[in-house]
Amino acid sequence: MNMNAIQHLLTQIHHLQTWLFPNACAFCNKLNDSGIFCSKCFGKVTFIEAPFCNKCGKLFTGGIPHNSLCSACINNERVFDTARALFVYDTYVRQLIVNIKQTGNRNLISKCCSIIVAKYGVLFQNIDAIIPVPSHWSRIFIRGFNPSDVIALELSQLIGIPVTRKLKRIFHTKFQHKMSKLERIKNVQNAFRWQGRQLKNVLLVDDVFTTGATIEECARTLRNSGVKKILCVTFASTEAK
Ligand SMILES: [Zn+2]
Ligand SMILES: [Zn+2]
């Protein structure tokens, strides 16, 4: 099945889901009035609202540093220009991400993308292309899809900017959730290659931002290909340190 056929099929499933469950809670699937989350789930999710790090978008939970940058952004030069996320990546949101990764839940992805556009749409001006953080082909073969790709497609439909899949993962990398930041950096080093024409401003999309090792490596590859502005958007990010 080619990519267009898969996209068509996913869209059909999405339409069927919205038709069957127009107001299903995005987390627990219980029917509710507001259409996105039921009141029980709404209270459990932490949306990232100011104050957050000006650079990486991680939520400040203690005091606000006077330059409004988290320690990770002060200590190392970030390769991307700006990153923003919707939720704090905690136990509850981890379930949501697992749900997205396992099922590609189009209804949930679509609702989260609408909120992202409402919150951060002002940053999307002059973007040439949306680039999903790529999965290795073997992982796509097992899972059937790349979650970042589905998020990118959904954002593309909302803001009318095309998705480009010319950022390739050239080798398989190990799962990172138990690795330290340094191990993660080593794990993804030189893992990506840009195979498209030169772009000026891009929107890089992934599901989660934790240490940022993967996003930084993608950003480095894009920067080396001549990209000027790199904005990153994820569904969730860990709190600022
Ligand atoms: Zn719920
Ligand atoms: Zn930061």
Q: What is the pLDDT of residues 158-177, one digit of tens each?
A: 999 999 999 999 877 767 77
pLDDT at 70: 93
Q: Which residues line ion ligand 2, judged by CB < 5 Å?
A: 53, 55-56, 70, 73
Is residue 31 situated within a structural domain?
A: no
The ligand minimizing its distance to the Cα of 24 is 1
| Ligand 2 mean position, distance from CA 120 (Å) | 17
pLDDT at 154: 95
Residue 57 lies in a domain: yes
Q: Is residue 114 part of a domain?
A: yes
Task: Read off the pLDDT band of 66 (50, 70, 90).
Answer: confident
Work out how many domains the chain is built from and give that number.
1
> Domain holding 60: CATH number?
3.40.50
- How far does the centroid of ligand 2 lie from the alpha carbon of residue 205, in Å? 17
**140 CA to middle of ligand 2, Å?**
31
- pLDDT recorded at residue 49: 94
The per-residue DSSP string of the chain comes to --HHHHHHHHHHHHHHHHHH-TTB-TTT--B-SSSS--HHHHTT--B--SSB-TTT-PBP-SPPPTT---HHHHHS--SSSEEEEEEE-SHHHHHHHHHHHHH--HHHHHHHHHHHHHHHGGGGTT--EEEEPPPPHHHHHHHSS-HHHHHHHHHHHHH---B---EEE-S-----TT--HHHHHHHHTT-EEE-S---SEEEEEEEEESS-HHHHHHHHHHHHTT--EEEEEEEEEPPP-
Identify whether 17 is part of a domain. Answer: no
Does residue 116 belong to any structural domain of this protein? yes
**Residue predicted with more confidence, 68 or 179:** 68
- Residue 21 domain flag: no
pLDDT of residue 9: 65
Nearest ligand atom owner, CA of 240? 2
Band (221; pLDDT cuts 50, 70, 90): very high
Establish if 8 belongs to a structural domain.
no
CA of 73 to the centre of ligand 2 (A): 4
- Full domain range(s) for residue 197: 47-237
Neighbours of ion ligand 1 (CB under 5 A): 25, 27-28, 38, 41
CA of 119 to the centre of ligand 1 (A): 22
Per the domain annotation, does 163 fall within a domain? yes
pLDDT of residue 32: 66
Q: What mean pLDDT do residues 125-129 have?
A: 95
What is residue 18's predicted lDDT score, i.e. its pLDDT? 52
